[in-house]
C-alpha cells in the first residue's frame, strides 16, 4: 500500500511546529500504524532527515504510551483501539493521513508527536489511591465485594491513561480520566473511606493543571481505546458535590 503522510514536526516545547508531507511506499496491509511510522523513520534516516519522534511501547494496546491524533481522531478511525493496534488495512490505499500530537494546554508538546502527560500523574498523586501501608491488609476474602461492583470497578480501572479523552475533547477536559480513576475505587468497599476526599482532591488538581470543563459531548467515550463509559463522569459530579456538602477534601 502507499500513503501520503502529513506529520506534525516541532523541534521542541517552545518552537513553532508545522505539518510536513512524506510518502510512505511499500507498506504492508498487516503493518500496524506504529510499524508504518517506524518504516517511514528509517526512510527519513536514509534521506538524511531526522526521524519523527513519537512514543509507543507495549504495542499491544495496554500501556497507554502511544498517542497520535490520526485524521483528527485520537488513535485513529477504529473503535476501541490504540494507535499501536491500528493496522494499515483500515486505510484506503493511496490515502492521505494527517498525524498530529495529542493537543491540550496541560499536555505540552515535547517534540514532534511526543507530549508530556505528567499532569495525569499529578492528579493521581493527589488522591488516586487507597491509603494503606504494606503489612496492614486483612485476608483477601475478609471484605466481600459483590460481583457487579467488582465488575463496575474493573470497567473503570481498565483506563490506560493514554490521554485520548483529553485529546478528543473540544474543551481539553480530563473528566473521563479523572472519573475513571475515582470510580475504580468508589465502586469498591475498600475505597469508601477516602471516597469524597479523593474525588475533591483529584478534581482540584485537574483544575489546577488547566484542563477544560466537561460539556457532556461524550466524544471522549467514542475514542477511548478501552471504551470507558461517561457514566463515571456522572458519578464523579455527584460524589464531588456530596463531598463538598459534607465538607470533605481538607488536607
Partner 1 sequence: MTLDARIPPGDIKDKWTRFQSEMKLVNPANKRKYSVIVVGAGLAGASAAATLAELGYHVECFVFHDSPRRAHSIAAQGGINAAKNYQNDGDSVWRLFYDTVKGGDFRAREANVYRLAEISTSIIDHCVALGVPFAREYGGTLANRSFGGVQVSRTFYARGQTGQQLLLGAYATLSRQIGLGQVRMHTRSEMTDVVVVDGRARGIVTRNLVTGEISSHRADAVVIATGGYSNVFFLSTNAKGSNTSAIWRAHKRGAYFGNPCYTQIHPTCIPAVGEQQAKLTLMSESLRNDGRIWVPKSKGDKRAASSIPESERDYYLERKYPSFGNLAPRDIASRSAKEVCDDGRGVGPGERGVYLDFRDAIARLGRPVIEERYGNLFDMYAKITGEDPYNTPMRIYPAPHYTMGGLWVDYNLMSTVPGLFVIGEANFSDHGANRLGASALMQGLADGYFILPSTIGNYFASSKLPALGADGEKALASAADESRALFTKLVNIKGKRAVDSYHRELGTLMWDRCGMGRNAPGLNDAIQRIGALREEFWTNVNVPGSSNDLNMSLEYAARVADYFELAELMCMDALHREESCGGHFREESQTPDGEARRDDQQFCYVGAWEYTGKVSASRLHKEPLSFDNVHLVERSYK
Partner 2 sequence: MAPSGPAPQKKSALGEFFGSSIAQKYIVAITGLLLVLFVIVHLVGNLQMFAGQDAVNQYAVMLRSMGPLLWVARIGLIVIFVLHVSTAFRLYRRNRAARPTAYVTQSTVQASIASRTMIFSGSFVFLYIIGHLLHLTFGLVLPEHAHLVDSMGRHDVYSMVVLGFQNKLVSFFYIAAMLVLWSHLRHGISSMFQTVGVRCPRVAPFTDQLGPLLATVIVVGYIAIPLGVLAGIIALPPGVTP
| Residue ranges in 39-68 that form contacts with partner 1 under rule CB under 8 A | 39, 42, 45-46, 48, 50-51, 53, 55-60, 62-65
Rg of the chain over CA atoms, in angstroms? 20
Maximum separation of any 2 CA atoms in the chain, in Å: 63
152-171 residues near partner 1, rule: CB under 8 A: 153-154, 157-158, 160-161
Query: In Å, what is the CA distance from 208 to each residue of 9, 12, 125?
Result: 29, 24, 13
Reading the block at residue 170, the C-alpha cell is 473540544
Residues of the shown chain interacting with partner 2 in the complex, contacts defined by CB under 8 A = 8, 19, 69, 71-73, 98, 100, 103-106, 109, 118, 121-122, 125-126, 168, 170-173, 203-208, 210-219, 221-223, 229-231, 233-241, 244
Note whether 130 binds partner 1 by CB under 8 A. Answer: yes
Is 30 an interacting residue with respect to partner 1 (CB under 8 A)?
yes
**Cα(251)–Cα(248) distance, integer angstroms:** 9
What helix, strand, coil percent values describe the chain, rounded to 5?
Answer: 40, 15, 50
Q: How crowded is residue 151: how many other Cβ atoms within 10 Å of its Cβ?
A: 11
Among 72, 77, 146, 210, binds partner 1 (CB under 8 A): 146
Minimum CB–partner distance for residue 83 and partner 2 (Å): 15
Q: Which is nearer to partner 2, 13 or 28 (CB)?
A: 13
Out of 91, 104, 111, 219, the residue judged to bind partner 1 by CB under 8 A:
111
Amino acid at each position: 500500500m502507499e500513503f501520503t503522510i502529513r506529520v506534525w514536526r516541532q523541534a521542541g516545547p517552545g518552537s513553532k511546529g508545522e505539518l510536513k508531507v512524506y510518502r510512505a511506499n511499500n507498506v504492508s496491509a498487516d503493518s500496524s500504524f506504529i510499524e508504518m511510522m517506524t518504516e517511514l523513520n528509517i526512510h527519513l534516516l536514509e534521506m538524511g532527515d531526522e526521524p519523527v519522534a513519537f512514543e509507543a511501547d507495549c504495542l499491544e494496546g495496554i500501556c497507554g504510551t502511544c498517542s497520535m491524533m490520526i485524521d483528527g481522531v485520537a488513535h485513529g478511525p477504529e473503535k476501541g483501539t490504540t494507535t499501536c493496534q491500528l493496522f494499515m488495512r483500515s486505510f484506503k490505499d493511496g490515502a492521505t493521513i494527517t498525524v498530529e500530537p495529542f493537543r491540550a494546554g496541560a499536555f505540552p508538546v515535547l517534540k514532534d508527536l511526543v507530549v508530556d502527560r505528567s499532569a495525569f500523574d499529578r492528579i493521581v498523586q493527589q488522591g488516586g489511591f487507597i491509603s494503606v501501608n504494606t503489612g496492614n491488609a486483612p485476608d483477601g476474602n475478609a471484605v466481600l465485594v459483590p460481583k457487579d461492583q467488582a465488575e463496575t470497578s474493573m470497567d473503570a480501572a481498565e483506563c490506560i491513561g493514554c490521554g485520548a479523552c483529553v485529546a478528543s475533547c473540544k474543551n481539553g477536559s480530563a473528566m473521563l480520566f479523572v472519573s475513571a480513576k475515582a470510580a475504580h475505587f468508589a465502586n469498591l468497599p475498600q475505597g469508601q473511606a477516602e471516597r469524597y476526599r479523593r474525588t475533591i482532591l483529584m478534581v482540584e488538581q485537574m483544575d489546577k493543571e488547566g484542563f477544560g470543563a466537561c460539556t457532556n459531548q461524550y466524544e471522549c467515550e467514542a475514542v477511548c481505546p478501552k471504551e470507558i463509559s461517561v457514566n463515571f463522569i456522572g458519578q464523579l459530579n455527584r460524589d464531588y458535590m456530596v463531598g463538598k456538602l459534607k465538607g470533605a477534601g481538607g488536607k
